[in-house]
Amino acid sequence: MLVRLKLFLGAYVNCTNAQNLNCLALAKHLDKSQFDITALSLYSQPQIKIEGVRLYRCIWPNRILAYWAYFWNIIHADVVYLPKAELLAFNSFICQLFGKKSFSTIEGILDDSNFRKAKNKSGFNVLNYYSRLSQVFSISEYIKHYNLEKHGLISNPKILELGTECQLFLNKTHKTGTITNVILIANNYSKKGVDDFLVLANAYPKLKFHLVGEGKKIEYHLPNLIRHGKLSQFELSELLKDMQLHIFPSRSEGFPKVILETASSGVPSLVYSDYGASQWIDNYQNGFVVQTLDEMKAVVEDLLNNKVSLNQISKNAIQLGLSYDWKFKIKLWQDVILALYCK
């Protein structure tokens, strides 16, 4: 009888922030014939079922129960994945104490603000906690080199890229034609560069600028600005059918999966280069990478004046999105987990 590896995914798979959604995708796509998977869920959120996955339900915000949930599942696992900073000091200590094979992923740059937040009252910082784990992986070369040079955070030479649920957004028949509708998808307006998006909306009154997500109240009242609020994945995929460009003016990102989701819909992204976007976007081939707001305006001008083939860039964007689908990326994760267990 085949003995399956007991894997604990340390995140709440029925919650919607990035690490939780990544663990939800892992729980769905990992080979159940090889892995006996347990993950966390919160009573306060809509309940879900994942075939072949055991869900340990937690009551939030009871911190004592959260400590217990992590402790119980860590000590009963063969391999532990801890993507969240939540309780990392405690969780990494338990992994070390019980000799558990464990790993985490660094999904963003540790800028000065993030680094200060990671420190606790005793003066330790996130580097101490990561050092207790068996392995730490970065999700991009840019993140790996930045955190090494800035903070001395050493991660595995192998890059552990995240996948996306591209099939949910796939639209191989997307027709772009002339640019008329652009979109920004963001839930934190201040961090996602919404001010630059509004400057562009004001500069190009003949284009419709669609804003999707939740964030601080916007005082601008532009006739060509359309606010959609928070949308479901289905609602967003339907809206993207009418879009020609995704403008994403964030200056600080880890791995912005929204770029790949819109790409799968045939909607290329216009982004800043600050977080290493050129590692997956080939400028003027499957998207656009710039350094300044003026350069963003130049790209929009090129598109309005038909100086580039938006149709071809759209087709290339679809291929970019598909290359990051979880069905292709999951084997890398399975190999990493199995290698860690056998080490």
The pLDDT tens digits of the residues spanning 17-39 come to: 888 999 999 999 999 999 999 99
Mean pLDDT of 184-209: 87
Domain housing 146: 5-163+326-342
Same domain for 115 and 69? yes
The reported pLDDT for the residue numbered 284 is: 95
Token pair 């998207």: residue: 287
Dist. CA 177–CA 11, nearest whole Å: 42
Mean pLDDT of 6-14: 96
The pLDDT tens digits of the residues spanning 114-129 come to: 555 555 444 556 778 8
Q: Max Cα separation, the chain?
A: 66
The reported pLDDT for the residue numbered 60 is: 66
Buried b (16+ CB within 10 A) or exposed e, 310-324: beebbbbbbebbbbb
Check if the beta carbon of residue 332 is closer than 8 Å to that of residue 323. no
**Number of independent structural domains in the chain:** 2
Same domain for 204 and 316? yes
Same domain for 210 and 278? yes
The reported pLDDT for the residue numbered 217 is: 67
Same domain for 313 and 337? no
The reported pLDDT for the residue numbered 172 is: 77
Task: Kindly give, in sequence order, each residue whose CB lies less than 8 Å from that of residue 199, ignoring residues fewer than 6 positions away.
Answer: 293
Rounded (10°) angle between helices 18-29 and 326-342: 80
The pLDDT tens digits of the residues spanning 252-276 come to: 767 788 899 999 999 999 999 887 8
Dist. CA 320–CA 288, nearest whole Å: 13
Same domain for 304 and 331? no
Cα separation values, 281 from 91, 290, 298, Å:
36, 11, 18
The reported pLDDT for the residue numbered 341 is: 96
The reported pLDDT for the residue numbered 121 is: 43
Same domain for 106 and 232? no
**Cα-to-chain-centroid distance, residue 323:** 15
For residue 85, how many other CB atoms are within 10 A of its CB? 15
Same domain for 133 and 279? no
The reported pLDDT for the residue numbered 330 is: 97
Same domain for 330 and 231? no
Same domain for 56 and 121? yes
Question: What does the CA dihedral 230, 232, 236, 239 come to, rounded to 10 degrees?
Answer: -80
The reported pLDDT for the residue numbered 133 is: 96
Mean pLDDT of 166-193: 82
Same domain for 149 and 11? yes
The reported pLDDT for the residue numbered 1 is: 47
DSSP 8-state symbol, 120: -
Check if the beta carbon of residue 36 is closer than 8 Å to that of residue 6. yes
The reported pLDDT for the residue numbered 52 is: 95
Same domain for 133 and 257? no
Q: What is the CATH number of the domain that holds 202?
A: 3.40.50.2000
Check if the beta carbon of residue 210 is closer than 8 Å to that of residue 182. yes
Same domain for 65 and 174? no
Full-model pTM: 0.88
